[in-house]
Amino acid sequence: MHRTKVKVVEDALDANNTIATANRADFDRAGVRVVNLMSAPGAGKTTLLERLLEGGLDGVRPGVLEGDVQGSMDADRLSVYHVPVTQLNTDSGFGGECHLDANMVRSALPALPLDEIDLLIVENVGNLVCPAEFRVGEDARAMVCSVTEGEDKPLKYPLMFRTAELVVVNKIDLLPHLDFDLDRFLANLEKVNPGVPHALVSARTGEGVAAVSDWLVGAARREPAAA
């Protein structure tokens, strides 16, 4: 039974990777770089995106694919910044999944104005497990971890942190009010993903957001990564 379960998981991931490769080919043809933005629920992804879109991305034209189980609250918040925002709900024919996968993103491709953008930011469903397992056709991955989550998160959810090319440590304005050891968190992050860039950010106050903006601009302007 255990072997059968492993085989089913492997087949599902293989099928997902095949579709992700097709997505990447479509994005590459359109000249659009894609960043998969992941986090736990409530880490502050949407607030961070508000700050980034408000400040602009140095001439890079962004678009957002907003992943949620249900509703359009986050997409509605981002739409006021006059960038293309496409809502993708996983309860609409996908069983209410706790993550986006390549097939879901492929279903949204006809609604994405790829000719109007240079960078697509996929705001994944809030979850520290499943999103890290499923490629969606992205060039790069970034994740947001808030200081309210505890410094042990890289050790408890290593795949999420290991697959990220940027780790945003959010809500640092709350550090004076929390029993959070930032040095320990960064040491745990280094154990899981040695040398990964990190940004210390308060999306609420704007502190550190410029570093994330610079990283996104670099991601948008670099050559496509290998599929």
Sign of CA dihedral 171, 157, 74, 106: positive
Q: Which residue has the tokens 């890079």?
A: 60
Q: Number of helices and strands (H, E) in the chain?
A: 8, 7
pLDDT tens digits for range 169-226: 999 999 999 999 999 999 999 999 999 999 999 999 999 999 999 999 999 998 776 5
- Mean pLDDT rounded to a whole number for the chain: 93
Query: For a pLDDT cut of 90, what percent of the chain falls above it?
Result: 86
Name all domains of the chain by residue range, CATH numbers in brackets: 2-221 (3.40.50.300)
Supply the pLDDT for residue 8: 46
Q: Flag the least confident range among 9-18, 160-169, 188-197.
A: 9-18
Report the phi/psi class of residue 64: left, alpha or beta, with left for phi > 0 and alpha for psi in -120 to 50: beta
For residues 115-125, average pLDDT: 97
Contacts of 144 (CB under 8 A, 6+ apart): 37, 38, 39, 43, 44, 45, 48, 168, 170
